[in-house]
Structures are given as structure tokens and as C-alpha cells.
């Protein structure tokens, strides 16, 4: 992840100093020296900035660091206001939401109107504006900084008010968990007047070691954040901090922040250095899940869904997915970050699909509605992904109405999804084009259900044109999508009694699926089974019972293997294969076998 660097007066350590963050467009980092100097000349604080400004970063970790800032200083330039950038879109918005003061410094003239649109009525300091009788820019800056940041004398009085100090020792990669421990300590009223010292993001060195010794000396308790990361070789905590605390005779409090239940549970589930024991794995993972660990919930959902170490139980799997959704929902409401949103959106998507597979239509609809609400909420935040997420949500809600055979309701949502997908596909991105093809397919299905074969064919041909270009890449998914288009157009030909045309499309699809099914992937196997069924149906219409039986038996062999997984769709496909072979027997007047 991106790392924050800092500057202080005289290059001293930042411990105990209030933090000021440089919030700027990456191209405006040329202003860092001047802004930093202006701030440090007026206040003895620590001035923090991105060590290597970039747009790609781990948002959750990044915002965790920003939450500790006392003030954001933001140079306002045309780049900041007119180009999409992290500083304005994410960091400024985060500061406003968390009520962290922001000081905008107007660095160019003529930006007042655009600034008002982007930042509202937040007052700024204009370094170019000179009005007779008005306070100079430098004076305003000094006054503002002194109003937000605490001076040295007052800071000394503040520190003397604490009853005790705790030294918090943790691995850098466990920073967020350590912050949770700090919040947990201060939730207790009797710990209100206890200060917590921690090493922030310093690089070990001579001055660093000296600071550690001084902090240990004045601390009354050494709190050690315990996670599996402490076991790694060469970490500063176990090599230096912990031995120093023991040598100084400090009271040591080990705080287990990441229980081992999850990791040991995985070990027994997968047989990593221990015997495979599904029952013990399930028990340990449940303990970890009860402690609100989302990874444990995900693992339990997967175990019950796939029958991994436990008896397969889709209802139990969905119950764990529901619990994970509740956890993600609470995290999103608490943090409001893009990552928290994406995690919640993803689990709701999976939850809706799981319910739909079990024909829990109302439950699936509830998940998809929440997805659409979330996407619309992200629109207000100008999130980069809200359009596609909203299109996905509308498509899923259309599927719900299709399941209820409400064609008008389904068409309404499919058209909403199509409008967004057409806009996004103009970018030329393969994923956006694939989404557009899916929208065409769905509307083709609506027309086909209404027996509007010409309308259906038009939509399917639009989809085919896109998929033929995408399949040229050779990607398996693109090829599979192309086979879907061939099958859809084959169905139209069959409905028109154009059996030769239908057979041609179905054979095109079969050639693709026979190639892809070599991988053994269940999805490819199922698609191959469908191709056999469709070609068998053509033979049946032509009264070629031997040909139909040949295709249906091939489909049956695949469906019997897939149904062993217990998946509802696989069982349904197997039932269809039995029906088809029953029809063959019936056509031959072999009623006993048909029955």
C-alpha cells in the first residue's frame, strides 16, 4: 500500500505532534515544499503526505491513516477541480464526512465559481487577493492554524492531565487491528485518562530506538497486539520492543487481536500439517465466525455450499451468507468507503443468486433491491463503478420478474439496464460490451416469450455481432457466450420450423462447447449437455428417434455426474434428461421404460 511520509521542525520525530495532511492533486506535489514550510513555520506539528503520489491504492488502509489527521491542507488548482483525482473525490470527501477541518488554499485566480460547485461554501484562503484594510494572507494563515492546532504550551498542559501511559506494540501490517484495540481500551470509562503511545509509521534507526526507550520508560503498561504476524522472522516488535519491555520490568498485556481459531480451522479443513478433520474444522471456524470474522463466515458458507468437510446444506450455506451480508452492511454504514461498498455489493449479489437458485424469489428480490439502492447511493458520491453496478442490479431485478412470468415488469428493468450498458459499451471495454450483449439477450428472451420472433431475432443478432468479435480473443468465457447466442438463434429457427437453420446454429454451439468441456469445468459441462439436448430435440421433430436418443444419452451422462454435487440446477437438468429419454420410449410405444 501507499505509505505516508512526514516532515517536522528540525527533522525530529512526530510523536505527540498534531498531524497535518497535504491533500493535493498528484501533479500539484510540486507545491509540497512551499506549503509544508508555511505550515511548519507557524506551528510545531507533523506534516504528512503521500510518499509517492498515485491513483491506485488500498482505500481502506489509506483512509485509516487519514482518520488520525487533525487538519487537511488542500491547494486549490484547476487540476484539482477539473480532473478526476483521489484528493478531491475521496480524501476531501472523507474529511468532510469525518468532520476533519480542511484548509483550502486558492493557488490560482479565477477558480472561485468552480470551487463553489465542487466544495460548497467552505471558506478558503486566497494567496493572491489583496484588499485594502483586509488581513494579509500570511496573517490569515497564522490565525487559522492557531485556531485549529494546539500550541506547545497548551499541549504540555494537556499531556500532564493524563493519569498513565500505555505503550502499544504491534506489527505495521496489523495497524488497523491495533487501532481497534486503542478504541476498545478507551471505551472503558476508567481508561478515559490513559494515553496510548504507538510508533506510527517510523523507520527504525538510532533516533527511533531512543524514542522507543523514552516511551517505554514513562509507560505503565506494555500492550502487545498478538496476531499470527508476530511469528514471522525478522520483525522489530519481537527483536527489539518486546525484549526491551521485559528488560525494563514492564507489566505486559498480550491482546489477541486475530484469533488462531480461523487459521487452525483451515488447517484441519485442508489437512495443512495436520490430519483432515471436517468436524473440528467446522467447530473452530464457527468460533472464529462468532467473533465476527468475515473470512470465517465466507469459509463456512463455502463449506456448506460445496459439502467440503460437512454434509452439504444449501440452507445453512445461505444462513452464513446472510450473516456475512449483515457484517458487510454494518461495516459499510460505519466506514462508508468504496471498498466497504464493493464488499457489501458483492455479497448481496451472491446472496440473491443463491436464493434464486433455491427458488426463493422474494428473498432474492430483496437482495437485488438493496444492490440497486446502494448503487444509486454511490451515484451521489460520484463513485466510478455505480453505473455498471446499477445496470447489474436492474438486470437481476428483471430476472426476478421473468421468474414470476411478469414480462412487462421484466422488460421495464431490462430496458433500464440496456440504456446504461449501451452508454458504458461506447468506451470499447470488453466487459462493457459483454454486459451489452447480455442485455440484448434478455430483451430477446422477452420477445420470444411473447412469440415476437422477429423482435427476438433482432436482439439476438445484436448480441451475436458483439460476441463474435469478443470470441476472436480466444478467451473461454467469450467462446461460451458465443455458443449461447448460437443456441438462442437456433431456438428462433426451430420456432419457425426452420429445422435446418436451427441445426446449423446448434452445431456451431456444440463445436464450441465440446472444445471447452475438455477442461472439465462444471459450467462448460452443463452447457455441453444443453447443446446435446437441443440437437436431440431437432432429431425428435424429424422423427429420428435413434439420433435423438444418442444426443439425450450423452446429455444424461453429463447430468448424472453433475447432479452428484447436489446443486439444485444440476438436479433439475438431470430430471429433464430423464424426461427426454422417456419421450423416446413413449414414441416407440415402450410405455414401461417411459414410465
Q: Are 323 and 297 in contact (CB under 8 A)?
A: yes
CA proximity to 229, closest of 174, 182, 272: 174
- This prediction has a pTM of 0.61
What pLDDT does residue 198 have?
Answer: 72
For 281-286, what is the mean pLDDT? 93
- Biggest CA–CA distance in the chain, Å, is 107
What pLDDT does residue 443 have?
Answer: 97
Which residues sit opposite 103 in a β-bridge?
Answer: 73
For 124-149, what is the mean pLDDT? 75
Alpha helices (H) along 426-498: 430-449, 453-471, 476-495
Whole-number Å distance between alpha carbons of 18 and 152: 10
CA proximity to 394, closest of 349, 347, 434: 349
What pLDDT does residue 159 have?
Answer: 66
What pLDDT does residue 135 have?
Answer: 55
* Angle separating helix axes 453-471 and 430-449, nearest 10 degrees: 160
Residue pLDDT, tens place only, 168-197: 888 877 777 787 778 888 887 887 788 887
CA proximity to 317, closest of 308, 327, 329: 308
Whole-number Å distance between alpha carbons of 437 and 402: 18
Instruction: pLDDT band for 333, please (50, 70, 90 cuts).
Output: very high
pLDDT over 90 (residue 530):
yes
For 414-430, what is the mean pLDDT? 94
Whole-number Å distance between alpha carbons of 259 and 287: 9
pLDDT over 70 (residue 259):
no
Whole-number Å distance between alpha carbons of 170 and 113: 47
What pLDDT does residue 34 have?
Answer: 93
Residue pLDDT, tens place only, 32-76: 999 999 999 999 899 999 877 655 556 666 777 888 898 999 999
Whole-number Å distance between alpha carbons of 394 and 409: 11
For 149-155, what is the mean pLDDT? 72
What pLDDT does residue 537 have?
Answer: 95
Residue 307 zone, left/alpha/beta (φ > 0; ψ -120 to 50; rest):
left
**Which of 320-329, 449-458, 472-481 has the least mean pLDDT?**
472-481
Torsion of the alpha carbons at 277, 299, 229 and 53, rounded to the nearest 10: 160
pLDDT over 50 (residue 519):
yes
Whole-number Å distance between alpha carbons of 310 and 317: 11
pLDDT over 90 (residue 138):
no
pLDDT over 50 (residue 203):
no
What pLDDT does residue 134 have?
Answer: 47
pLDDT over 60 (residue 201):
no
Whole-number Å distance between alpha carbons of 429 and 469: 12
Whole-number Å distance between alpha carbons of 375 and 372: 5
Whole-number Å distance between alpha carbons of 255 and 260: 13
Q: Are 490 and 505 in contact (CB under 8 A)?
A: yes
Q: Are 470 and 430 in contact (CB under 8 A)?
A: yes
Q: How many CA atoms lie within 13 A of 524 on its CB side?
A: 16
Whole-number Å distance between alpha carbons of 224 and 208: 18
Whole-number Å distance between alpha carbons of 427 and 418: 15
Residue burial 111-150, b: 16+ Cβ < 10 Å; e: rest: beeebeeebeeeebbbbeeeeeeeeebeebbbebbeeebb
Whole-number Å distance between alpha carbons of 494 and 418: 27
**How far, in Å, are 15, 43, 202, 559 from residue 12 at the CA level?**
9, 14, 11, 70
pLDDT over 50 (residue 450):
yes
Residue pLDDT, tens place only, 100-112: 999 999 998 888 8
Q: What DSSP element (H or E) covers 302?
A: helix 294-306
pLDDT over 80 (residue 403):
yes
What pLDDT does residue 202 have?
Answer: 44
**Percent of the chain at pLDDT above 70?**
93
What pLDDT does residue 204 have?
Answer: 38
Greater pLDDT, 187 or 344: 344
Q: In what order do the strands lie in the sheet with 4-7?
A: 4-7, 46-50, 19-22, 71-76, 102-106, 125-126
Residue 120 zone, left/alpha/beta (φ > 0; ψ -120 to 50; rest):
left
When the pLDDT of each residue in the chain is averaged and rounded to a whole number, the result is 87
The DSSP call for residue 72 is: E
Other Cβ atoms less than 10 A from the Cβ of 213: the count is 12
Q: Are 161 and 234 in contact (CB under 8 A)?
A: no
For 469-474, what is the mean pLDDT? 92
Greater pLDDT, 594 or 123: 594
Q: How many residues are recorded in the chain?
A: 595
Residue burial 372-409, b: 16+ Cβ < 10 Å; e: rest: bebbeebeeeebeebbbbbbbbbbbbbbbbbeeeebee
Residue pLDDT, tens place only, 531-568: 999 999 999 999 999 999 999 999 999 999 999 887 78
Q: Are 39 and 20 in contact (CB under 8 A)?
A: yes
Phi, psi dihedral angles at 450 (to 5 degrees) = -90, 5
CA proximity to 111, closest of 101, 126, 121: 126
CA proximity to 245, closest of 275, 274, 212: 212
What pLDDT does residue 1 have?
Answer: 47
**How far, in Å, are 306, 454, 463, 473, 515 from residue 466 at the CA level?**
34, 19, 5, 12, 21
The DSSP call for residue 467 is: H
Whole-number Å distance between alpha carbons of 512 and 531: 10
Residue pLDDT, tens place only, 260-280: 688 788 888 888 778 889 999
3-state secondary structure 376-443: HHHHHCCCCCHHHHHHHHHHHHHHHHHHCCCHHHHHHHHHHHHHHHHHHHCCCCHHHHHHHHHHHHHH
Give residues with Cβ within 8 angstroms of 100, minimum separation 6.
66, 69, 70, 71, 72, 94
Amino acid at each position: 500500500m501507499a505509505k505516508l511520509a512526514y516532515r517536522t521542525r528540525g527533522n525530529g520525530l512526530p510523536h505527540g505532534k498534531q498531524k497535518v495532511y497535504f491533500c493535493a492533486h498528484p501533479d500539484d506535489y510540486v507545491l509540497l515544499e512551499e506549503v509544508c514550510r508555511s505550515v511548519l513555520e507557524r506551528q510545531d506539528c507533523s506534516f504528512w503526505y503521500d510518499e509517492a503520489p498515485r491513483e491506485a491504492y488500498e482505500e481502506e488502509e489509506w483512509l485509516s491513516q487519514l482518520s488520525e489527521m487533525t487538519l487537511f491542507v488542500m491547494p486549490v488548482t484547476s487540476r484539482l477541480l477539473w480532473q478526476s483525482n483521489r484528493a478531491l473525490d475521496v480524501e476531501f470527501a472523507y474529511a468532510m464526512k469525518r468532520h476533519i477541518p480542511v484548509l483550502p488554499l486558492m493557488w490560482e485566480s479565477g477558480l472561485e465559481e468552480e470551487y463553489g460547485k465542487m466544495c460548497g461554501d467552505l471558506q478558503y484562503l486566497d494567496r493572491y487577493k489583496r484588499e485594502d484594510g483586509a488581513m494579509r494572507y500570511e496573517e490569515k494563515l497564522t490565525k487559522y492554524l492557531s485556531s485549529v492546532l494546539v500550541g506547545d504550551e497548551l499541549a504540555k498542559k494537556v499531556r500532564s492531565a493524563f493519569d498513565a501511559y500505555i505503550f502499544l506494540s504491534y506489527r505495521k501490517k496489523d495497524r488497523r487491528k491495533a487501532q481497534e484495540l486503542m478504541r476498545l481500551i478507551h471505551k472503558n470509562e476508567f481508561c478515559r485518562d490513559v494515553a496510548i503511545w504507538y510508533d506510527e509509521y517510523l523507520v527504525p534507526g538510532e533516533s527511533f530506538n531512543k524514542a522507543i526507550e523514552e516511551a517505554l520508560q514513562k509507560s505503565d503498561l506494555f500492550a502487545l497486539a498478538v496476531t499470527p504476524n508476530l511469528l514471522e522472522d525478522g520483525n522489530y516488535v519481537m527483536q527489539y520492543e518486546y525484549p526491551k519491555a521485559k528488560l525494563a520490568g514492564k507489566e505486559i498485556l498480550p491482546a489477541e487481536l486475530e484469533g488462531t481459531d480461523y487459521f487452525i480451522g483451515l488447517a484441519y479443513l485442508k489437512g495443512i500439517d495436520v490430519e483432515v478433520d471436517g468436524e473440528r474444522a467446522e467447530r473452530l471456524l464457527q468460533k472464529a465466525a462468532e467473533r465476527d470474522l468475515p473470512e470465517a463466515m465466507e469459509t463456512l458458507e463455502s463449506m456448506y455450499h460445496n459439502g467440503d468437510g460437512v454434509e452439504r446444506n444449501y440452507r445453512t450455506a445461505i444462513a452464513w451468507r446472510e450473516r456475512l451480508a449483515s457484517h458487510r452492511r454494518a461495516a459499510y454504514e460505519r466506514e462508508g468507503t468504496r471498498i466497504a461498498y464493493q464488499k457489501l455489493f458483492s455479497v448481496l449479489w451472491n446472496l440473491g443468486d443463491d436464493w434464486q437458485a433455491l427458488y426463493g424469489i422474494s428473498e432474492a428480490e430483496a437482495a437485488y433491491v438493496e444492490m440497486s439502492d446502494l448503487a444509486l447511493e454511490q451515484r451521489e458520491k460520484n463513485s466510478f463503478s455505480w453505473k455498471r453496478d446499477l445496470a447489474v442490479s436492474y438486470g437481476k431485478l428483471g430476472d426476478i420478474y421473468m421468474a414470476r412470468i411478469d414480462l412487462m415488469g421484466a422488460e421495464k428493468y431490462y430496458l433500464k439496464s440496456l440504456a446504461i450498458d449501451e452508454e458504458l459499451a461506447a468506451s470499447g471495454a470488453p466487459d462493457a460490451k459483454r454486459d451489452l450483449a447480455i442485455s440484448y439477450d434478455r430483451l430477446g428472451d422477452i420477445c420470444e416469450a411473447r412469440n415476437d420472433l422477429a423482435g427476438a431475432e433482432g436482439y439476438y443478432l445484436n448480441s451475436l455481432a458483439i460476441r463474435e468479435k469478443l470470441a476472436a480473443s480466444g478467451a473461454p468465457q467469450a467462446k461460451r457466450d458465443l455458443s449461447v447466442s448460437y443456441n438462442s438463434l437456433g431456438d428462433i429457427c426451430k420456432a419457425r420450423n426452420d429445422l435446418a437453420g436451427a441445426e446449423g446454429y446448434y452445431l456451431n454451439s456444440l463445436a464450441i462447447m465440446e472444445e471447452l468441456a475438455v477442461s472439465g469445468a462444471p459450467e462448460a459441462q452443463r452447457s455441453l449437455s444443453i447443446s446435446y439436448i437441443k440437437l436431440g430435440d431437432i432429431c425428435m421433430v424429424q422423427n429420428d428417434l435413434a439420433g435423438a436418443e444418442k444426443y439425450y444419452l450423452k446429455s444424461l451422462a453429463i447430468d448424472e455426474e453433475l447432479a452428484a454435487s447436489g446443486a439444485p440446477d444440476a438436479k433439475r437438468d438431470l430430471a429433464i434428461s430423464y424426461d427426454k429419454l422417456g419421450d423416446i420410449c413413449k414414441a416407440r410405444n415402450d410405455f414401461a421404460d417411459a414410465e
